[in-house]
Chains A and B, each alone.
Chain A
Amino acid sequence: MKLTSIAMKLFTSAVICAASLSAHAGYKQTGNVEVSSTTIKGSFGSARNSSDSKQILSISDYGNFVLIFAKNSAGSIKTCTTSDQTKKEQLRGATSDSYLIIGLSGSTCSSVYVDNSSKHEAKR
């Protein structure tokens, strides 16, 4: 009876500890770089922190147009440019912790989504 009580207390403590740790860490989402003929996805933090030393995600601002360059862990590369004012402003609003979802139409960035969220991995 006494043993059961101790076990219950230990279990409860463990659950509380785990819950508090989880609350401290926050929700996280890894954003490794993914490329296809129609999409580029990924977060700068995950690309930078990845252990494969291959992933790259970059936004290059040339003034009248912006170029996105992405390489995944397999070494596949996709790139696109946009001279659309709205898309340029979206991309200029990206931070080093942002997650990007870019639609490709040939070498034109047909759609741009920039997600700035605590869930994305920060660059270390």
Chain B
Amino acid sequence: MKQSGNHFMQRSLIGLYLGVGFIAGLQVFHLWSGCNSHNSNQIATPQSQEQNNIVSLAEPANDNSKDLPSNQLLQEYIQAEIAHQFALQTEEIKHLISQLETRPALIPGQTFEENEADARQQETYILSVNTLDASIAAEYFDEATATEVMSGFNSLSDDQKHQLITIYSDAINAGKIYFEKPLIEFIN
């Protein structure tokens, strides 16, 4: 059941990538074709005017001496716009992926309530692991951290409990964190 959930998540991710890639491609194509359909000077000139307020719109469009800088400006504009769009899309993809990763995949054959319970359990587990990981990264573990890590322990599955304690034990044995009390004392 868990495996089909993982396949579902993988399919979702692949679909997401394809969708976002397609939209990004369309945007780039649209931008490119839109820019090419105009005379480069018509686009570049207002920008130049914006920059220095000297060049007039009434200035002749076929001034050959302006062609080279105008083309450069156009290229820079397109490159900047593409980079901007890609940055936006990348952020969006990262955001969507993080949502998918924190949200467990729905398991076919389970009721909505069962899926919701699994989702809550998974979220509790992720919160505990994140707290523990942050503590290990900071190489500091105290009673407040232990309480936080173990706060949702009772609601975890047996495997999740074992995984969580194993992460803790690995860190203790490796000397990354030091804590003198057995964690079981912090189950509430």
Taking the complex as formed, is B172 at the interface, i.e. its CB lies under 8 A from any CB of chain A? yes
Taking the complex as formed, is A77 at the interface, i.e. its CB lies under 8 A from any CB of chain B? yes
Q: Closest residue to B159 on the A side, CB-wise?
A: A64
Taking the complex as formed, is A58 at the interface, i.e. its CB lies under 8 A from any CB of chain B? yes
Given A67-B184, A106-B173: A81 and B178 within 8 A (CB)? Answer: no
Taking the complex as formed, is B11 at the interface, i.e. its CB lies under 8 A from any CB of chain A? no
The distance in angstroms between the C-alpha atoms of A23 and B38, with both chains bound, is 109
Given A56-B180, A71-B180: A62 and B172 within 8 A (CB)? Answer: no
Q: Closest residue to B157 on the A side, CB-wise?
A: A64
- Chain A residues within an 8 Å CB radius of B178: 77
Interface residues on A, range: 20 to 34
- Chain B residues within an 8 Å CB radius of A75: 180
Taking the complex as formed, is A78 at the interface, i.e. its CB lies under 8 A from any CB of chain B? yes
* Distance in Å: Cβ of B176 to nearest Cβ of chain A: 12
Q: Is the CB of A67 within 8 A of B165?
A: yes
Q: Is the CB of B182 within 8 A of A60?
A: yes
- Chain A residues within an 8 Å CB radius of B182: 56, 58, 60, 67, 69
- Chain A residues within an 8 Å CB radius of B172: 77-79, 107
Taking the complex as formed, is B116 at the interface, i.e. its CB lies under 8 A from any CB of chain A? no
Taking the complex as formed, is A29 at the interface, i.e. its CB lies under 8 A from any CB of chain B? no
Taking the complex as formed, is B169 at the interface, i.e. its CB lies under 8 A from any CB of chain A? yes
* Chain A proximity mask over B17-52: 1 for CB below 8 Å, otherwise 0: 000000000000000000000000000000000000
Q: Which of A75-94 contact B (CB under 8 A)?
A: 75, 77-81, 83
Q: Is the CB of A67 within 8 A of B169?
A: yes
* Chain B proximity mask over A45-78: 1 for CB below 8 Å, otherwise 0: 0000000000010101011110101010001011
Given A67-B182, A67-B184: A107 and B169 within 8 A (CB)? Answer: yes
Q: Which of B145-176 contact A (CB under 8 A)?
A: 158-159, 161-162, 165-166, 168-170, 172-173
Q: List 14 A-B contacts (CB under 8 A).
A: A56-B182, A62-B165, A63-B158, A64-B162, A65-B161, A65-B165, A75-B180, A77-B172, A77-B178, A77-B180, A79-B169, A80-B169, A104-B173, A107-B170
- List the interface of chain A (C-beta within 8 A of B): 37, 56, 58, 60, 62-65, 67, 69, 71, 75, 77-81, 83, 104, 106-107
Name the 3 nearest CB pairs between A and B, nearest first: A107-B169, A64-B158, A60-B184
Known: A79-B168, A81-B165. 10 other contacts (CB 8 A): A56-B182, A62-B162, A63-B158, A65-B161, A65-B165, A67-B169, A77-B179, A81-B166, A107-B169, A107-B173
